[in-house]
Structure 1
Amino acid sequence: MKFTSLSSGSSGNSLLVETDKTRILIDAGFTGKRLETLIKNAGVLPETIDAILVTHEHNDHIKGAGIMSRRFNIPIIANEETWIAMIKKIGPIDDNNILVFKNDYDFTLKDLDIHPFSTFHDAANSCGFTVNHKKNKISIMTDTGTVNERIKRQLFGSDVIFIESNHDPIMLMNGPYSPALKRRVASTKGHLSNLDCAQTLEEILSGNGEKVILAHLSGENNTADIALNTVSNHLMDLGLDLNRDISLNVADRNGVSNRIEL
């Protein structure tokens, strides 16, 4: 199984998961033209994508989903509430390409076993995903204001953990956002801070070589260096060796990065 972050940040998100038989996008938060370029930059032809899975209906996750579906006849898979919330945004979709899952219930897509788990965000019914193939497991969790024990159980045992590290609280407090937007981001229906991310990882990592990718960084309220330093310092204080026990990287906000083959 291969995993590639095509781009991840507050301005747009899309991920690629591949096996020898299957290719899926998780989210499509860029223009169709930009998505085509990102997919090709990852060494893949857009017409070979088997499905687009959607975490929630915010524009930085669905902007190009409709055009990609229409252009390349790609099914879009989302829960019912997300479909209702996004259908007017993404435009008409062929009936055959409208597929529905239910949060917290497994489904299979060719040779991938997928579990969508509910998250806490100000969206219709947001979710993250675990994707399993043979003995490998990839977990994707962004856009959640808090993490409960149910989510931690889903993330545990992953080979790859793509996890939100959205903002630095001091930068958020002193930054350009309005007071209302600052409260939204910091709320339990907003986004995880760098420390929130680190504390979540503290409870789910085994130190067995997991590959951790910090994701969905804010362009205004975070930097890659601050996120990486906050999380790495917290994990090293717990005794984890970042050269031996795990690997820790930050997803590029504007281009392909973190290509991992399991």
Structure 2
Amino acid sequence: MGLRFTVLSSGSTGNATLVANGEVTLMIDAGFSARRIDELLQERGVTGNDINGILITHEHSDHIKGLGAVARKYNLPIYANEKTWSAMEKSIGKISEENRCLLGTGETRDFGSMRVESFAISHDAAEPVAYSFYDGKDKLSVCTDLGYASDKVKMAIADSDVLVLEANHDIEMLRMGRYPWNIKRRILGDLGHLSNEATGDLMSELMNGRMKRTYLAHLSREHNMPDLARMSVRSAMEDRGCFYKDSEFKLCDTYYDRPTPWDRVADL
């Protein structure tokens, strides 16, 4: 069947993504109330009973808000590294020992026929990670909440068929926005979030003819807009000499208030 996925919702108000292959369904993060997660799942024809586990990227509330409640309601295992477990324990409440699963940074684990690889990213959390998913020749990477893309991050997401990648803010909108300077400095720093321009620069390095689509994720509602993000990323790519035809590669939207359609990684 191969990999398919839906970004249930993405942004500063909450984040969750589903990845499935017909045998296994995994959720990345649970940054909404349990009720809202159920609603988002229902919109994509899924229930919590269909999920086999939850992978956590880091402990910020927009990634774990409903984690404890959803895990208890559906008796789901939670996978995170040791430092993330320590950082989020008080926020998520009691989790049964059998559902407290360690997945170390840099570790690769098989979930049936789906292989998951964790890799370190740069963000102001205890030990933040992103994930790549493999099924046969399919590769999907989900990578948000990073202040910059290190060489190790670039290696981890290279050769992805489809990429879910942060394009958090427009730099000038952020600088002119209402946030206090200390928060702006955090967002702009190496432990913050990727700007549209930084995402475009990164994409220009990753384009090798294999990647079919990139979904621009974790857009700021205050300091970005979908049309602007797509335009700025494409412009930055072209400034670096990276041109493409829409028939060969697409920049796709994610949404803060609704899921993306199910998308298959491999072309049918």
8 Å Cα contact 2:204-2:242 kept in structure 1: no
1:190 aligns with 2:192: yes
Name which of 153, 173, 176 aligns with 2:175: 173
Q: Which residue of 1 aligns with 2:250?
A: 247
Distance 1:178 1:233 in 2: 29
Instruction: Report SS of the residue matched to 2:10.
Output: strand
Indicate whether 1:111 and 2:113 are aligned: yes
Question: Residue in 1 aligned with 2:75?
Answer: 73
SS in 2 for 1:117: strand
Q: C-alpha deviations, 1:53-97, integer Å up to 9, x for none?
A: 000000000011111110000111000000000011011001111
**Secondary structure of 1:252's match?**
coil
Change (3 A) 1:166 1:116: same
Is residue 25–residue 51 contact of structure 2 (8 Å, CA) maintained in 1? yes
Q: Please list every run of at least 4 consecutive aligned residues from structure 1 whose deviation after the TM superposition is greater than 4 angstroms.
A: none
Of 134, 142, 145, the match for 2:144: 142
Q: After superposition, what is the alpha-carbon deviation per residue over 1:211-249, rounded to whole angstroms, capped at 9, x for unaligned?
A: 100000011111111101101223345342241221111
CA distance in 2, matches of 1:241, 1:121: 30
Q: Report the RMSD for the aligned CA atoms in angstroms.
A: 1.1
- Structure 2 segments unaligned to the other structure (5+ residues): none
Residues 209 and 117 of structure 1, relative CA distance in 2, 3 Å threshold? closer
The residue number in structure 1 matching 2:206 is 204
Percent sequence identity over aligned pairs:
36
Kindly provide the CA deviation profile for residues 133-176 of structure 1, in whole angstroms up to 9, marking residues without a partner as x.
11100001100101111110111110110000000110000001
Q: Do the aligned residues in 1 keep the contact of 2:160 with 2:210 (CA within 8 Å)?
A: no
Q: Tell me, in whole angstroms, the C-alpha distance in 2 between the residues paired with 1:181 and 1:242.
A: 38
Return the offset for 1:258: 4.3
**Partner AA of 2:172 in structure 1:** I
Unaligned runs of 5+ in 1: none
Query: Any idea what SS the aligned residue of 2:106 has?
Result: coil
SS of 2:118's equivalent? Answer: strand
- Work out the CA distance in 2 between the residues paired with 1:17 and 1:160: 12
1:100 is matched with 102
